[in-house]
Amino acid sequence: MPLRSQPTARQMRLGAELRRLRDAAGLSAREVAGLLGSNSAVMSQMEAGNGGVSAERVRRLAAHYACDDTDYIDALVAMATDRTKGWWEEYRGVLPPEFLDVSELEHHATYRSDVVLMHVPGLLQTEEYARAIFGYRYPPLPESELQPRVEHRMRRREFIEGDAPLRYDAITHEAALRIRVGDRASARRQLEWMLTLSAVDHITVRVIPFAREGFGGGGWSMGYVGGPVPRLDTVIRDTPHGTYFLDAEAQLRRAQGLFHKMEEAALTPRQSHDFIHQVAKEL
């Protein structure tokens, strides 16, 4: 099987999980390669996501590693054998790879939770708002790069608006509601769209108000994406230098704890709906 020149985040995650299992079993790559009749170089490429792995090999490795979590093993097999060419592939070579990785991650997710405090969370954005966000760059993006970013963000809304929408929980801050990313009219339309979505059963939108005392988490933003099993959950961190996917057990626990702290600081969904409505009326 030829080596991949640019593995996706999903392919690298499979390799990382196989490496974690080997480390937990206390085996070296050379030892495992010997058991499989392979070599260390092949093991290294596989664990880096650069080389493919068959369903049979995943199950053999799990057996060698004494892993008896059948749901987890089945999920790894699905990752190894999935050949889905989703809508995001249309943007390969057009958008940065992490845009496509996020879409693929959401396609295989079971739920998503976001904490985005200074902007409206991406899945809740209107097209006008998204265009203003992506357009606020220096130097500015040419239209040939700006428009695909906006299109991609709008198509990602299938996660919450498609035929089989998934649970989505979003926490934002009053600052995001009041910062006029566009003009007054577009700001009002953005808030009205948030009100529409917050009334949908599988979507929860919560707001942390300026008046909340003891809130020191203003610098945090993250996405938490549920995998087919909890061990395959993923944290997404967007930074000015790129998008990072975190999946170590300690990182997942930390993100879960942080999200719960944010929930404690936020208004209830009903209170948040009324709060957004009030801010919209003030525009």
Answer yes or no: are the C-beta atoms of 238 and 23 closer than 8 Å: no
Same domain for 73 and 101, yes or no, is no
Closest by alpha carbon to 25, among 59, 71, 66, 56?
66
Same domain for 61 and 93, yes or no, is no
Q: Indicate the pairing of strand 167-173 with strand 111-115.
A: parallel
Q: How many helices (H) and strands (E) does the chain have?
A: 13, 6
- CA distance linking residue 159 with residue 137, whole number of Å: 27
Same domain for 114 and 221, yes or no, is yes
- CA distance linking residue 231 with residue 248, whole number of Å: 9
Q: pLDDT tens digit string along 36-73?
A: 888 889 899 999 999 889 999 999 999 999 999 999 99
What order do you get walking across the sheet with 222-226 strand by strand?
A: 203-208, 167-173, 111-115, 222-226, 234-239, 242-246
Asked whether residue 74 is assigned to any structural domain, the reply reads yes
What pLDDT was estimated at residue 4?
58
Asked whether residue 3 is assigned to any structural domain, the reply reads no
pLDDT at 121 over 80: yes
Among the ranges given (32-46, 126-140, 206-220, 241-255), the one the predictor scored with the smallest mean pLDDT: 32-46
pLDDT-derived band at 262 (thresholds 50, 70, 90) equals very high
pLDDT at 273 over 90: yes
Same domain for 67 and 197, yes or no, is no
Q: pLDDT tens digit string along 168-190?
A: 999 999 999 999 999 999 999 99
pLDDT at 15 over 80: yes
Domain boundary among the residues 81, 110, 145 is at: 81
Rounded average pLDDT over 129-136: 96
pLDDT at 2 over 70: no
pLDDT at 3 over 60: no
Rounded average pLDDT over 73-88: 94
Quote the strand ranges of 143-267, DSSP E: 167-173, 203-208, 222-226, 234-239, 242-246
Q: Is pLDDT larger for residue 127 or for residue 84?
A: 127
Rounded average pLDDT over 8-17: 96
- Output the domain CATH number for residue 143: 3.30.870
pLDDT at 1 over 60: no
Give the domain extent around 46: 9-81
Domain boundary among the residues 62, 81, 100 is at: 81
Question: Is the whole model's pTM more than 0.75, yes or no?
Answer: yes
What pLDDT was estimated at residue 270?
98
Question: How much of the chain exceeds pLDDT 70, in percent?
Answer: 98
Same domain for 98 and 66, yes or no, is no
Contacts of 188 (CB under 8 A, 6+ apart): 280, 283
Rounded average pLDDT over 7-26: 96
